[in-house]
C-alpha cells in the first residue's frame, strides 16, 4: 500500500499540521497543486468535493499547495497573498501550505510532472485512491463509487 509522505505545513489561519496525521477526517482527500495557475482546476475539484461531502460525510478535504523549501523565507508574503484572495474562512482553514523538498516528496508519490494536480484519498497515511489532473465525469464517478464502497463497509 502506497503511503502519503509526512510533511509539515500551516493552514492559512496559522494552525500547524503534520500531514497526513493531523488531518481531521476519518478519511481525507488531499489535493496537491504545484503551480499557481492550477488554482482553477483545484477549485473545480473542491466545489465538487463540497457537494459530494453532503452525500458522504465520512471524509474531509484539503488543498495542500506544495512549494519548494527555497520559498520558506517568503512564506509570510505567499501565504498572506493566498489568504487575502480567499474570503471564505473554511477554505482558508483547509488550505495548508507545505514548504518542502519537492524532489523527495514527488519521488515518494511517484509524481513525474508538476504540470498536473494530484488528488489522494487517505486513511491516516495510506493512499486508498488517487487521481490527477482536471475533474472529469469519469474521475468524479470513480471517486463516488469508491466512497460508496467505503460507506457500505462501515
Cα–Cα distance for residue pair 140/118, rounded to 1 Å: 14
CA 22/CA 8 separation, integer angstroms? 10
- Would you say 3 and 91 are in contact if contact means Cβ atoms under 8 Å apart? no
Residue 154 has pLDDT above 90, yes or no: no
Given pLDDT bands bounded at 50, 70 and 90, which one contains residue 105?
very high
Structure letter (DSSP) for residue 97:
E
Lowest mean pLDDT among 2-6, 52-56, 83-87, 110-114: 83-87
d(CA 40, CA 43): 5
Q: Is residue 2 part of a domain?
A: no
49: containing domain? 7-153
DSSP letters, 91-107, are HHHTBEEEEE-HHHHHH
Query: What confidence score (pLDDT) does residue 75 get?
Result: 87
In this predicted structure, what is the pLDDT of residue 120? 98
Calculate mean pLDDT across residues 113-129.
Answer: 97
**pTM, full prediction:** 0.94
* Contact (CB, 8 A) for 67 and 78: yes
- How far is it, in rounded angstroms, from Cα 91 to Cα 87? 8
Of 75 and 93, which is predicted with more confidence?
93
pLDDT at res. 145: 96
Q: Domain for residue 94, yes or no?
A: yes
Task: Say whether the peptide bond before residue 30 is cis (omega within 30 degrees of 0).
Answer: no
Residue 18, pLDDT score: 97
pLDDT digits (tens, 9 = 90+) for 23-73: 999 999 999 999 989 999 999 999 999 999 999 999 999 999 999 988 888
CB 32 within 8 A of CB 137: no
1 within a domain of the structure (yes/no): no
- Looking at per-residue pLDDT, the higher value among 87 and 121 belongs to 121
**Domain membership flag for residue 119:** yes
**What CATH number has the domain bearing residue 73?**
3.40.30.10
Quick one: average pLDDT of 131-141? 98
Grouping H, G, I as helix, E, B as strand and the rest as coil, residue 61 is strand
Question: Using only C-alpha atoms, what is the Rg of the chain?
Answer: 15
How many distinct structural domains can be found in the chain?
Answer: 1
Amino acid at each position: 500500500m502506497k503511503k502519503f509522505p509526512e510533511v509539515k505545513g500551516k493552514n492559512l489561519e496559522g494552525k500547524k499540521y503534520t500531514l497526513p496525521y493531523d488531518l481531521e477526517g476519518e478519511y481525507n482527500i488531499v489535493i496537491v497543486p504545484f503551480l499557481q495557475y492550477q488554482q482553477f482546476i483545484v477549485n473545480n475539484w473542491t466545489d465538487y468535493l463540497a457537494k459530494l461531502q453532503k452525500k458522504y460525510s465520512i471524509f474531509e478535504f484539503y488543498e495542500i499547495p506544495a512549494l519548494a523549501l527555497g520559498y520558506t523565507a517568503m512564506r509570510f508574503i505567499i501565504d498572506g497573498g493566498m489568504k487575502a484572495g480567499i474570503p471564505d474562512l473554511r477554505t482558508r482553514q483547509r488550505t495548508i501550505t507545505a514548504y518542502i523538498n519537492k524532489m523527495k516528496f514527488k519521488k515518494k508519490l511517484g509524481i513525474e510532472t508538476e504540470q498536473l494536480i494530484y488528488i489522494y484519498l487517505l486513511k491516516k497515511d495510506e493512499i486508498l485512491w488517487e487521481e490527477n489532473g482536471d475533474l472529469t465525469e469519469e474521475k468524479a464517478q470513480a471517486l463516488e463509487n469508491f466512497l460508496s464502497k467505503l460507506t457500505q463497509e462501515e
